[in-house]
Structure 1
Amino acid sequence: MKGFKHFLMFTITCLFLSGLQMNIEAKGSDRITNKFDHTIKIQSNLEQKVNKSKKGKIKVIVQLEEKFTPEGRVSTSQKDKQESNIQETQDTVIEDLDNKEQDVSGHISKFKTIPYMSMEVDEEGLKALAENPDVKSITEDAVISKSDIKTNSNFLEDKLRAKDIFTNSLMNAESAWSAGFTGKGKSVAILDTGVDRSHPFLKDKVVYEACFSSNRNCDGKTATTGEGAANDTEGHGTHVAGIAAGNTTNFSGVAKEANILAIKVLADKDGEGNFSDLLNGLERVYLLRNQYDISAINMSLGGGKYSSTCDSSYTSIKNIVDNLKSAGIATIAASGNDSYKSALSAPACISSVVSVGSTNDYDQVSSFSNSVSFLDLLAPGDPVYSSLPGGGYGYLSGTSMATPQVTGGFALVRQKYPNSTVDQILSYMKEDGVSVKDKANNIPTPRLDFSWMRAILITLDRVQKPILQGEIIEWTDVPNAFQYEVELYKDNTIIYTTRVDGTVHEINLSSKMESSGSYTVTVRAIGDGAHYQDGPVSAYSDASNIISTLQQVKKPIWDGNTIRWDEVTDASQYMIKLYNGKTLIQTQTVQNNVLQYNFEKQMVKPGSYTVTVQAIGDSVNYRDSIVSSPSEVNKKLTTLAKPQKPTWSGDSIHWKTVEHTKTVELRLYRGKTLILSKRVAAGDRKYNLSSKMKNSGEYTVTIKAIGDNKSYKSGAASVHSDKKITLKQVPKPTWKGTVIQWHSVAKASKYELKLYRGSKLVFTKHVTASNHKYSYASKMKVRGTYTVTVEAIGNHKTYRNGPISHRSVGKKR
């Protein structure tokens, strides 16, 4: 990505609740009075929408005539009673629809903790609901969809890449982290397009996944859970999750050690879903409250325009958000990207939802960010660098990016104050935030900041004056020091800084003091950032006047058993060290006019030999160089012994083992032609070759011990075994009357004759090697066509049976 001149950023409106301004007060709705004089509020135009729909049906959210109190405010028995009443009323409504022969099976979503349900109905079903005394209101289960707003940007990408950790630094997240508040043990829920759980930034963070889609886009179902259920192919949810809780060694999200519950509520094409999917997602998080320590829910989504709180317009969301809030779980939503300066989007406009606007790089309210007097918080969102599906990263802008900053922040504060309520945590964030005024409306809003979470640290003691002896710096211990920072000065100019562990109290600085000069050192005790802060810098050590260091010898080179190296100017000697592996074998010093050394006498054992060379100074004008890099490895291997001549036992070749053999290689020859090369285990002592010696010829075998190429190399092959000869094939036999005749084969001990009638073997006969014909008159009395094969039989010591002859021509009887 580096090198692009310009980088086009996208501000993410996130989720636009299309047509979701479902004001269920008198405005925009009709009142229907049923036969029981029960007034039901029904969203206007629902009947017209049913008629216009291709399926003749419409998805609706049904509010029930049931009292509701957030469950965290009532006793367990009252909570159970409320849930029971909700379920009974839901069942009654469904039963009434069934009695009126309204088919809504497979389309019903019953919410367990709030008096609502969703379903798909036709015109008659809508009428049946309107006539039901248990129904309080009916609104459309509207489509929610993501919309992107492009914004012009002339930022160079190189400039943007420096912002990897910019937003965390701007909010002083390091103050919370250094105090031990990283979100560890807490969880945040991301309700979005899903999360790429395999992304390195989110590795091992996603502890729960769910998907909700009334259009059955959760692998063909309306709801799924388990690994992969919330897989993100769109990208928005993965980016949001990284901002809230991502973590790598280079940079991180806000709650970098928090876990993630990935709830996919936009599973339809182009990142769309329905209102009921969002409600299902919120309720699922609530039902998981006892399984996971959930601090907050992130909803980087929104739509509509509300200049005041919108609780009455979104009672279903208000109810479930209040349930969550009563359980200590904050619901956090984006203010919207419509540039409204006197209104917010929904659901951020709900009074119990924490609303979040965006600030830019200059800590100003982003021009696109919706703003109003009752906006809760601001956070960096323009732009933010975070994870994208497939393992990549990128910049996005929008209140969608600001919202997860606050979501992660809730996890940090919840870790610091585990018993605080949602309102208390929000008040901490507001009171300790940085006030930023929106220039468009002059409304100040607190921007998220964590500097107030910084731990009160104890300052470490000052290190006593360190002692510099030659190139070795030493200092005394400071209790509770996490590290020590050592700074080396040459002629009053700092030339080197390093940090070492708190258990270290001396280091060798010779590699940094190679040129002549006057050197001094300071040491400072470094705190852990959680309980102790850095101590003051020590006094300067006494000066150490250093002579020049000789140049390092270049990497030496092997020439057989001789090591060679290049001359170093002003060296008085060279110190040569020979190693076998990591073990030092010999140290040898030679004069400066010697530039090679033979180690043949020292390299008698097998192993991997290397050499280093160091130029030695005269200690007056020059000091020793640093040691050269090790030479390349010079391997010395022991050659395995040559195996004894192998022997035959029938068709199996036998041999004796050679010590230190890794494998055994046997080779089978017919005459001088290699026909088989085979490696067998070192413990094997024989191998049957009958299947490889079917053709006529003289066969011999050699055996070779194969080494491991670490300590032992392969030995020479054995001498050839004695010959094992496969007799020649008998030429095709011929008939003379009922007598079969054949030509002799040299070295045959006998012949095996087989008589066939058709394909059936009817008679087998062995005859001596001196016979070359045989009469079958007595064996051919049954009518048919007879053929004969002849095989030369060996003595099974030196000679093997030859191939069976071709069948004779047929003889009819």
Structure 2
Amino acid sequence: MPGEVLVALRPGAPADMPARLARRERLTLIASERFGLVPVTLHRFRIRDRRGLAAVIAALSTDRHVASARPNHVYALVQAPEPAFAGSQYAVAKLHLPQAHALATGRDVAVAVIDSGIDAAHPELAGAVAKSFDALARSETAPPSPHAHGTAVAGLVGARGQLASAAPASRLLAIRAFSGTGEARPSGAQGTTIHVLRALDWAAGAGARIVTMSFAGPADAWLSQFLAAGLAKGTLYVAAAGNAGPASPPLHPAADPSVVAVTATDAEDRLYPAANRGAHVALAAPGVEVFVAAPGGGYGFLSGTSMAAPQVAGIAAMLLQAKPDLTPAALRSALTGSARDLGPPGPDPEYGAGFAQADAALRAAGAAPPTIAEAARPTSASPPQGMAETATPPALASPQGPAGTPDAVPATEPPGPRP
């Protein structure tokens, strides 16, 4: 945010230190906020003159009572406008949802959706939203409106009507951290560091086992600290890889080591052309012309890595229902170890470990018996005498879905972070 800085003080700093800094550095104190996920109080200041942010941060950092002074970054939702071509729910067959739902549906697993406003009254989401939180409430006076992006993402995690979802029996924690002009439009909503930190903090307090994040922006030290703290407490974070294209540097939070980054593919397993690439990409899931819920009880088709991430979060919810004691590391291992390889053999910067498979992930986590083919698969080395041989997670061929969706006219999204 132009002209804004977030300051944390060292333990033992005088109680009036924020006021002193404001006077000395020609700042206006907007708010002071205490967080629990990372025990810290952040003081949000606005620069009162035309000085650059770097100069103000440098000046603040010389004070012995200041632990850190950092920008209040801007993050943007990462999904493209409606495409010209309308397909069907090809994701159902691609992800093997019918087979997986015979074993688990994510029942009672708390999944936090950090996004824009969600239409909780949509028939697909009736009864799905257990709790809600508005991280923007302190900065806005007008009541929030349901937003296309947040409604779509929430439905992909836990829709429970005619729209198929990965975890239809999960408990959604709806967190609004993004807003902007044209709330009915899928793009254009933004949030800042402070809004995202509020969202992560609340999600932790509300008991979220999984958090899905379909937004992208620059690296931020506070964001990384909060994600690491949540991961250490047992929360799995899933994020959209971003839609800034193959030449873009890694975007966050997807590029953070505490996060499972998800890219998008179409009905024929082709990579979404605008998807970010990189070694941090963990998995691929359907994200091109995906059938989604829309505000006002409607439906539509949206594209982008934003649409892929919540489907992986839903699969993780299935795993946690079946085996509640799974750690984030075990969840990641089951998801990536059971993925169907795409692109060059092995993990690669375009598809990660490959395409997510819900039923295979359940088997990889030990939540379902292996198939005959899996049980017969030899391991790389024979086990010692008397020890049982362990089946290798499968690389299943996906059943052919409905007619493929051409990417000759892919929907394009504006690049990730906005200044």
Equivalent residue letter for 1:200:
P
**Mapped partners of 1:189, 1:335: distance in 2:** 18
Alignment of 1:175-254 (within 5 A): 175-179=99-103, 181-213=104-136, 216-217=139-140, 219=141, 231-248=144-161, 250-254=162-166
- For the pair 1:121 / 2:46, whether they are aligned, the reply is yes
Aligned residues: 351
Equivalent residue letter for 1:208:
K
For CA contacts below 8 A with separation 6 or more, give which structure has more relative contact order. Answer: 2
**Counterpart in 2 of 1:384?**
290
**Counterpart in 2 of 1:265?**
177
**With structure 2 as the length reference, what TM-score do the two structures score?**
0.75
1:395 to 291, 301, 312: 301
Classify the secondary structure of the residue corresponding to 1:216: coil
**Counterpart in 2 of 1:347?**
253
Alignment of 1:118-197 (within 5 A): 118-122=43-47, 126=56, 129-146=60-77, 149=80, 153=84, 155=85, 157=86, 160=87, 163-164=88-89, 166-179=90-103, 181-197=104-120
- Gaps of at least 5 residues in structure 2 are 182-187, 372-419
Structure 1 contact 314–350 (Cα < 8 Å) conserved: no
Listed one character per residue, the Cα deviations across residues 388-433 of structure 1 (whole Å, up to 9, x for unaligned) are: 1100011101000000011111111111221111011000111111
1:316 to 197, 219, 222: 222
- For the pair 1:335 / 2:335, whether they are aligned, the reply is no
**Counterpart in 2 of 1:34?**
none
Cα gap change, 1:148 to 1:256, in 2 (>3 Å): closer
Percent identity reads: 24
Equivalent residue letter for 1:335:
A
Alignment of 1:725-764 (within 5 A): none
**Counterpart in 1 of 2:354?**
446
Listed one character per residue, the Cα deviations across residues 421-472 of structure 1 (whole Å, up to 9, x for unaligned) are: 10110001111111111799776532110222364499xxxxxxxxxxxxxx
Cα gap change, 1:143 to 1:90, in 2 (>3 Å): farther
Deviation of the 1:354 alpha carbon: 1.1
Structure 1 contact 185–258 (Cα < 8 Å) conserved: yes
Listed one character per residue, the Cα deviations across residues 21-77 of structure 1 (whole Å, up to 9, x for unaligned) are: xxxxxxxxxxxxxxxxxxxxxxxxxxxx6xxxxxxxx32122445xxxxxxxxxxxx
Cα gap change, 1:446 to 1:146, in 2 (>3 Å): closer
Structure 2 contact 244–275 (Cα < 8 Å) conserved: yes
Structure 2 contact 236–259 (Cα < 8 Å) conserved: yes
Classify the secondary structure of the residue corresponding to 2:67: strand
**Counterpart in 2 of 1:107?**
31
Cα gap change, 1:417 to 1:134, in 2 (>3 Å): farther
Alignment of 1:654-665 (within 5 A): none
Whichever of the two has the greater Rg, that structure is 1
**Mapped partners of 2:288, 2:78: distance in 1:** 17
**Mapped partners of 1:117, 1:284: distance in 2:** 15
Larger helix proportion of the pair: 2
Classify the secondary structure of the residue corresponding to 1:108: strand
**Counterpart in 2 of 1:302?**
216
Cα gap change, 1:287 to 1:93, in 2 (>3 Å): farther
**Mapped partners of 2:151, 2:82: distance in 1:** 21
1:288 to 170, 181, 206: 206
Cα gap change, 1:351 to 1:189, in 2 (>3 Å): same
**Mapped partners of 2:344, 2:82: distance in 1:** 19
**Mapped partners of 2:150, 2:356: distance in 1:** 22
**Mapped partners of 2:48, 2:163: distance in 1:** 55
**Counterpart in 1 of 2:4?**
59
Cα gap change, 1:235 to 1:443, in 2 (>3 Å): closer
**With structure 1 as the length reference, what TM-score do the two structures score?**
0.40
**Mapped partners of 1:90, 1:354: distance in 2:** 40
Larger strand proportion of the pair: 1
Alignment of 1:792-811 (within 5 A): none
Cα gap change, 1:98 to 1:205, in 2 (>3 Å): same
Structure 1 contact 202–247 (Cα < 8 Å) conserved: yes
**Mapped partners of 2:351, 2:37: distance in 1:** 38
Classify the secondary structure of the residue corresponding to 1:354: strand
Alignment of 1:664-683 (within 5 A): none
**Mapped partners of 1:254, 1:89: distance in 2:** 48
Classify the secondary structure of the residue corresponding to 2:357: coil
**Mapped partners of 2:82, 2:180: distance in 1:** 26
**Mapped partners of 2:37, 2:349: distance in 1:** 40
**Mapped partners of 2:344, 2:295: distance in 1:** 34
**Mapped partners of 2:14, 2:44: distance in 1:** 11
Cα gap change, 1:318 to 1:90, in 2 (>3 Å): farther
Deviation of the 1:365 alpha carbon: 2.0
Deviation of the 1:327 alpha carbon: 1.7
Structure 2 contact 281–349 (Cα < 8 Å) conserved: no
Cα gap change, 1:339 to 1:438, in 2 (>3 Å): farther
Equivalent residue letter for 2:99:
S
Cα gap change, 1:449 to 1:274, in 2 (>3 Å): same
Deviation of the 1:338 alpha carbon: 2.0
Classify the secondary structure of the residue corresponding to 2:296: coil
Equivalent residue letter for 1:141:
N
Equivalent residue letter for 1:286:
A
**Mapped partners of 2:7, 2:273: distance in 1:** 38
Structure 2 contact 105–169 (Cα < 8 Å) conserved: yes
**Counterpart in 2 of 1:278?**
196
Cα gap change, 1:444 to 1:202, in 2 (>3 Å): closer
Cα gap change, 1:438 to 1:251, in 2 (>3 Å): farther
**Mapped partners of 2:131, 2:246: distance in 1:** 36
Equivalent residue letter for 1:302:
A
